[in-house]
Structure 1
Amino acid sequence: MLRLITASLCLQCHRVKSFPSNLRPCGTLSSSENQQTVEALYGLSVDIQKVRKLKGWVLHQNPAYTKEVADLLKELGASGSIISQILTVYPEAVLCNPDQTLAQKELWMSVCPNQKELVGIIEKFPASFFTSSSHHDNQRNNIAYFQSLNLNKRMITKLMASAPQSFSRPVEQNQDMVRTLQKTYQDLGGDEANMKIWLQKLLNQNPFVLLKPPQVLRQNVLFLQDKGFRTAELLYLLSKLKAFVIELNPDSMRQTLTYSRDTLGCSDAELRDIIVSCPALLYYPKDILAERFQGLLSAGISMHQIAQTPTVMELTTQIVNYRIQRLKSRGYDVRTASLDVLNGTKKDFEVSYGKLHFRRERPLFNPVAPLKGDD
């Protein structure tokens, strides 16, 4: 009998859904829902069914601070519908102690221009705001560090919202990565006077660059140097790739470069020029490149044309085919003309499309119109 009871308890334990350890309160997990939490969420027009389906474990927690969280959001200027949306998407917020959320408010307001903007951030990134109290010291230290780099408050706020992990960890880790970025910039011939702007753009393009090990950047730069890229080209790639060069590794780049060179039928030197013209070729996986090459070839475009305008590889096959058909309907043949018109965003394409001088169709013969005769 004892064995049966033990087995039953173990099965019940396995059925309990796991939840983030950083949000586990100093309370209890009940087998039944916390009715006070459920009623408070109902009163705020929160979609309880959605919460039960996706994050039902929250409703079993005690204590919860639904009213306190809602009041704080109201004080910041959040409307009822916004509060409802935040708590539907991120119900874990109600598990944050009121003192913790108040400390977060003060912390964020030290870099956020106004309360209205902070509400917008919480609406988009609730997990970044409602974080563990154990991270507050790291957050303060990281804010102070990025302010010492003369990054503006809006930039720091964006980093905190989109890459909160970089602010929750010890400041020394961010310092190490930033120093590596700065040294790489200088070693590649970057202008000291422009380094602050360069760093700010880099972090703006890819905030998650801070979370990468510094040695990854060093390895990738060394690999590209071994492939013959000059220092000026490497600096350009590091900036143009939106820091994606840090997301890569030598093996993936080696495969991509080899496949692109063999497919285009070009030399290593020619390939380097193509990569500088279209840095995206460095990080597209082989299967995506194969699909896009095939899509262009199927449309009658030659490898020579692709090599001349490699940025066309940044577009999906679906977008390329759509643009080719639009141009074809107006008499523009991409097989014999420039591919430049295909490039760019939708807006860029529409502008280029509107500037083209298309072939005029011959007017139909009108038997009623008078014939032009000799005077």
Structure 2
Amino acid sequence: MLRLAATSLCLRCQRSPSLRLRVRPCATLNQSENQETVDALYDLSVDIQKVRKLKGWVLHRSPAYAKEVAGLLKDMGASGAVVARILAVHPEAVLHTPEQVRSQKELWMSVCPSQRDLVGIIEKFPASFFTSASHRDNQRSNIAFFLGLSLNKRVVTKLMAGAPQSFSRPVQQNQEVVCTLQQTYLELGGEEANMKVWLQKLLSQNPFVLLKPPEVLRQNLMFLRGRGFSTAELLRLLSKLRGFVIELNPDSMRRSLTFAQDAIGCTEAELRDLVLKCPALLYYPESTLAERFGGLLGAGISMSQITETPTILELTPQIVSCRIRQLEARGYDVKSGGLDALNGTKKDFERSFGKLQLRGERPLFNPVAPLRGDD
């Protein structure tokens, strides 16, 4: 009897349409999109499909202020195309109230030279500008702190754009990091009169220095001191590494130095000289160093040439090969002529390359020089 009842119940369940489970994709289980937001973004020529693909959740939020935020950006001088790009990359900007955007604009303009500059920053770093209103007090305190160090306003703006997390956290954390940097600079023999310029350059080249624990810097310097670097050499390294010294750790540096020394076959003193010329030997991992050494040697460059110009290791094998081909086309032999023409940044190379002439090549026609008549 019990089995029959159970069977009857099962049959009724199977026949009942109200009990059928209909599995749908998770996206369709969410509430419908905010049509007002979608329409506003469409009118602003924002790539809606890109927004749906990357940050579709924004389109489901309400309230949203797409028109208002776009209007404020245009008031700052942003073109329609720029506004569209900003909102496509960072659509959560439309969730900020007009009051919040005005407040953020006022904050940034306390260090930004002009509204035009601010628009350029927002286009490149929208997430740095459209931060939570809950961080506003910390941002103000941090701006006041860095300006109190007599840092250039442009540097402070660059810090805010490149490492916004450092301005969203309590000012005490940044004070601790900066204090450690200043003390280290002085302990290594740096002059107090030059400390502001040194600190400004360090922070502008690598804003993420502020996000690292101060102890890391001391540990790394202790390791390098243990490898025989003098106080003056450590100060040079600290400046040359552009803050990277605080992103390293003793284990990774030890492995990189060991690999480089084995590959070159040099003494500890010679290795220190090479590191001072090319700090990349400290922070490139073994795999990168192996690739760089292999690429150079494979291109016919000798180890003695590499040690004479160690900064050549900063170039990828692809760049080295491309430059060698260009130089050979001009009749320049890298093996006998040295690596100076091959080395350096793109601008350095173009400058050196432009001075070279093909063997037997006649000077290029100078349109300014007077023409000589026929004899």
TM-score in terms of structure 1 length: 0.87
Whether 1:191 and 2:191 are equivalent positions in the alignment is yes
1:15 counterpart residue number: 26
Deviation at 1:359, TM superposition (A): 4.4
Greater Cα shift, 328-337 or 152-161: 328-337
Q: Is the alpha carbon distance of 1:219 and 1:179 closer, same or farther for their aligned partners in structure 2, counting shifts above 3 Å?
A: same
Unpaired stretches in structure 1, ≥5 consecutive residues: 18-28, 362-375
Deviation at 1:309, TM superposition (A): 1.0
1:295 counterpart letter in structure 2: G
Distance 1:335 1:73 in 2: 56
2:10 counterpart residue number: none
Deviation at 1:354, TM superposition (A): 3.4
Question: Identity over aligned residues, as a percent?
Answer: 69
2:99 counterpart residue number: 99
Distance 1:331 1:102 in 2: 60
2:9 counterpart residue number: none
CA contact (8 A) 2:330 2:357 kept: no
Greater Cα shift, 184-193 or 101-110: 101-110
Whether 1:37 and 2:34 are equivalent positions in the alignment is no
Whether 1:261 and 2:261 are equivalent positions in the alignment is yes
1:333-367 deviation line (CA, Å, top 9, x unaligned): 22233112211112211222333476449xxxxxx
1:13-61 deviation line (CA, Å, top 9, x unaligned): x9369xxxxxxxxxxx951100011011111111111111111110011
Structure with greater Cα Rg? 2
1:208 counterpart residue number: 208
Deviation at 1:169, TM superposition (A): 0.2
Distance 2:169 2:233 in 1: 33
Unpaired stretches in structure 2, ≥5 consecutive residues: 1-12, 362-375
Equivalent positions of 1:171-320 (< 5 A) are 171-320=171-320
1:136-190 deviation line (CA, Å, top 9, x unaligned): 0000000010011001211111111111100000000000000000011001111
Distance 1:30 1:94 in 2: 20
**Equivalent pairs, count:** 345
Distance 1:110 1:353 in 2: 44
Deviation at 1:123, TM superposition (A): 1.1
Q: Is the alpha carbon distance of 1:68 and 1:297 closer, same or farther for their aligned partners in structure 2, counting shifts above 3 Å?
A: same
Greater Cα shift, 263-272 or 300-309: 300-309
CA contact (8 A) 1:202 1:243 kept: yes
CA contact (8 A) 1:30 1:61 kept: no
2:325 counterpart residue number: 325
TM-score in terms of structure 2 length: 0.87
Deviation at 1:215, TM superposition (A): 0.6
Deviation at 1:295, TM superposition (A): 1.0
1:190-238 deviation line (CA, Å, top 9, x unaligned): 1110000000000110011100110111100000000001111111111
1:271 counterpart letter in structure 2: L
Give every structure 1 segment of 4 or more consecutive aligned residues whose post-TM-superposition deviation is greater than 6 Å.
none
